[in-house]
Structures are given as C-alpha cells and as structure tokens.
Structure 1
Amino acid sequence: MHNWTWQTWQGKPYLTCDLISQPHGFFTSAFAPQTPETLTSALGVEAEVLRTQQVHGNAVLAPEEIKAGTKSLVTSMASQPTAEEIERPHADGCFSNYSSQAAWVCTADCTPALIADQRTGQVAAAHAGWRGTAQQIVPIAITKLQSQGSRLQDLRVLLGPAIAGEVYQVGIDVATQIGLSVVDTKQFAREADIITHLLNLEKPPLLPDSKPGHVRLDVRRINEIQLEQMGLAPEQVATAPHCTYQEPDRFFSYRRTKLKQVQWSGIVST
C-alpha cells in the first residue's frame, strides 16, 4: 500500500502520494477559483503550465501542440488576457518533454490521472471520465511518454479523487461502452454477457443496482484494469481513497450538485 498524505498551502489542503517523487498535487475545492498558473507555486517549483480545454475525449497533447493551439481572445494591446480570455486546444490530456513543465487537468467527479517516469522525470496528466476511459485516454497518455523514451517499468500512475463506484449509477449502455475497453468482444455473444462478466470479476468494476437497466460503475477500477492489461504491475498504480461525491467538504461533485465547478490536479516534470 502507498501512503496518501494531506499537505497544506496557504492553509488549504491538497493530496499527494508517496508513489511518485515528482512534485504533484490533487487540489481540493478550497482552492477555487485559483488556476494552475497559481497552484503550481504550491508544489514548490517554477514551471511552464500545460493545460487544455477538456472535452471528454482521448486526445493527449505535447507542449508544442498546446502552444500552437492556444490563442488570446484579447485584441487590445493595453490589456493582458485573463484565463477566460484565452482559447485553448481541445484535449483531455497533456505531457511534458522537458524539465520544469507542469501538466494539469481539472475534474468534478471524473478521474484525474497523474503519470510519472521515475527514470526520465517526464510526466503526463489525463482527465479520465467514463467517456475518456472508454477511449483509453490513460493508456494513450502512457504511449505518448513511451514515444519519447519511457519504459513501462519506470512509470508510476496516480488515480486521484473521483466518484466512487458504489455511488455512481449509470445505464447499461454506458457500462457496456466502457466495458468494451477491457474485454475481448470475441469471447461474448451478447452485450449483456459483457455486463455479467464485469459484475463477476474478483475485483469488479461494475456493481449491482436496484434500478432496472442500471448498474454502479467504478471508473477508476476500469482504468486500473486497462493499466494491468497494458503491462503495468499493480504496485505501479495507486488509487486515492477519496470520493468526490461523498466528501462535500473537500471536493466539488457535478453528480451531487449539477454545478460546473472543478478542482485541479497537476504534476511537474523534473
């Protein structure tokens, strides 16, 4: 087991894990409305901030792609653009390719995944909601790091605070879509068989629900299975013991409030 620890910055709590040595943090709702440009200071470093406009897809961008796709919407030379006046490229992940680059994602029930290469120091961050997870965004982020020299055995992955499976009710259609990312479809004659298979795994990503046509979905467990199938050992992955839905004093939860409020998660390359 890896230790998850509450840290404080300016008297406010954020979460870290000893699995990863690179500066990182899963920030709580207490930090709203501060942005990554400010929160990077909490990690004790100065770094170039990498962030995107998240759209629940599986695109993971390099720093140069983010720079090329970022545009100021301010035309007056007399003013500096605010965060709301900047158009960012659509993607749900980013990765570093030099030192002192900070990769950030925001979430409000979806899984924030922070990935670190303990040998090269490079990092990635992914916003893994059920749609992005169904499209294997975390494995895609890992392949981006591999394309620039990372080895699987050197990678460490943190799956941060997100809505827990026991309280995340979804329809069978959603469960099937995300289930297809971790099963061999040739082994199942019907989609219903996929659901039954996932419900009966030793550590199941799906749980029964009393409402007909519905189940409970553990998105982080699906991500764990994807990483295992990719070749990462269980000890290379740590999942935060916190649920955004069930901890209103610490986290925003869209499922709980239906409000568009987010908390940030970031990691810095070394």
Structure 2
Amino acid sequence: MHTWCWQTWEELPYLTCSLLKGWEHGFFTSAFSPRSPAEIVDALQPQAQVYRVRQVHGNTVLTSSEIESAARASQERKEEPEKPPADGILTEQPQQAVWVCSADCTPVLIADEKTGQVAAIHAGWRGTASRIVPNAIARLLNSGSRLQDIRIAMGPAIAGEVYQVSETVAAEVGASIVAKDKAETLEAILDVLQQLPNPPILDDSQPGRVRLDVRRVNALQLEQLGVSSEQVAIAPYCTYQEPEHFFSYRRDKLKKVQWSGIVSKTPDANVFSS
C-alpha cells in the first residue's frame, strides 16, 4: 500500500507519496498561495529549471524543449512570452521541474524509475474525457520508457461522492473507458459504468445528475493500458471537503489554485529494489 505523508517547508504543509520516493516532488496546499512554482521549487530542488504551461482543459502534452521553442518563437516575434496551451509537461533532461495547478481537477505526477524522466498532468473532467494521462504515457513510451517502469500518483482532487455532474458530462468522461460497441447511447454508457467494480459514478438524488469520480476513471484508463494497480497511487484527500488545506473552485467559486510539481533526475537502474 502506498503511503501519503505530510511534509513541511518554511512551516507550510505539502504532501508526498511513497510511490515517488525516489524523486523530489510535492502536492502543495493552499498555504503556499500566492507563491508561484519559481518560488515553490526551492522546497524541492532550488537548482531545477521550472516548466509551466497555460492550462486549457485539453489533452495536449508538451516536452520541455517544445515549451522552450514556444518561448523563443514569441521572443522572435517580439511578443510577450506566453506559455503554450497544454495540460501536461514531460521532461527530457535531469533537473527539470514540471508543474501543474488545480483547484478540484486531478494533479497527476508520473515518474519513470529507469530513465529518471517525469511528467506533470492536469486532468479535469474534460482532459480525462480526452484521455490526457494515456497521451502522456504514450509520449513517455515513444521516448524510451517501458510501461512497467512508470509510477503514477494522483493528488488531492474533488472526490466522487461530492462531485455532482450532469449525466451528459458523466457519459462523456465514461466513454473514454467504455468499448465503442457498448457506448452508443448515454444510457448505455452509464449502465456499463455502474456495473464496474468500484464504479466511477454514483447515484444522485437530483434527476439527470450523478456523482463522478474522475480519479477512478483515470485509474481505469491506466488499467486498460496494462498498468498494474501497484504502479498507481491515489491521494485520500478531497479538495472540496478539506478547506483547511485546499482551494476548491466548486466550493468557493474563486480562481485560486494549488500547485503540484516533480523534478526529473539522472537515469538510475537501481532506484527501487522491487
């Protein structure tokens, strides 16, 4: 069983996951606001180079060099350097820190125990519906990773039991894990989802609504890729239900976020004995 531990930096709390123990990483709390990753990175690795994107609830995953190219292109056009639109970042060299922000959506940190590469993903319901985490895994595999070496930690996000959505949204997200021949209607998709073990949707008292567990859908996407459950950890924390630690857009309707980040390292074949 993977453990989640509270750490402190400058007396401020953040979370780490035992699955990622070989990497400097953190799921940071609202207490770090309004600090940016350029400041928070000091808690992990002050020398690391920081990479961010402009999150747009899509499924684009960019590499660190693609982000650098976008910055150079805007400089050449003599424009203000604007972060490229994406919701996932992949490292290519050691000492690169990749960051995503969230306020109910799922922050996903991914690490490869052989190559030392890491990724940070922002997976809201739209990104999950368009399979952003499998997209990130595909890019890792294309750059030399092996599926069995990948470790995935999903941080604090809104829990399924309190995340009320329309049946239409639930079906759009659920279609990402339902076979096409069983996904011809909204009702068919919801029916398949309800039959699954530990189903990602729960009933809601309001007609036309259900409760949706986005992290569970991401876990099922990974399972379908062939990722074992031992390679995945899901934080037992809900942004909506824990206002003392986390911002929640659904709860407060404020555009405030917490950051999650991880730092790549040099390849090491002996990070884990198991």
TM range (shorter): over 0.9
SS of 1:199's partner is helix
Matched, 1:51 2:46: no
Q: C-alpha deviations, 1:107-140, integer Å up to 9, x for none?
A: 0000000000001100001000000000000111
Matched, 1:9 2:4: no
CA distance in structure 2 between the aligned counterparts of 1:248 and 1:9, rounded to whole angstroms: 20
Q: Is the Cα contact below 8 Å between 1:5 and 1:16 reproduced in 2?
A: yes
Matched, 1:145 2:140: yes
What is the identity, as a one-letter code, of the residue corresponding to 1:17? Answer: C
CA distance in structure 1 between the aligned counterparts of 2:174 and 2:14, rounded to whole angstroms: 31
Long gaps (5+) in structure 2: 266-274
User: Match for residue 239 of structure 1?
Assistant: 234
SS of 2:19's partner is coil
Taking structure 2 as the reference length, what is the TM-score of the superposition? 0.92
Q: C-alpha deviations, 1:135-157, integer Å up to 9, x for none?
A: 00011111111111000000000
| Cα distance, 1:44 vs structure 2 | 3.5
User: Match for residue 128 of structure 2?
Assistant: 133
Q: Is the Cα contact below 8 Å between 2:178 and 2:192 reproduced in 1?
A: no
What is the identity, as a one-letter code, of the residue corresponding to 1:239? Answer: I
CA distance in structure 2 between the aligned counterparts of 1:47 and 1:175, rounded to whole angstroms: 39
Q: Is the Cα contact below 8 Å between 1:15 and 1:27 reproduced in 2?
A: yes
CA distance in structure 2 between the aligned counterparts of 1:86 and 1:243, rounded to whole angstroms: 34
Taking structure 1 as the reference length, what is the TM-score of the superposition? 0.94
CA distance in structure 2 between the aligned counterparts of 1:202 and 1:91, rounded to whole angstroms: 32
| Cα distance, 1:59 vs structure 2 | 0.4
CA distance in structure 2 between the aligned counterparts of 1:263 and 1:188, rounded to whole angstroms: 35
User: Match for residue 248 of structure 2?
Assistant: 253
SS of 1:197's partner is helix
What is the identity, as a one-letter code, of the residue corresponding to 2:63? Answer: A
| Cα distance, 1:51 vs structure 2 | 0.6
The alignment's C-alpha RMSD in Å is: 1.6
Structure 1 runs (4+) greater than 4 angstroms displaced: none
Long gaps (5+) in structure 1: 76-84
Aligned pairs, number = 261
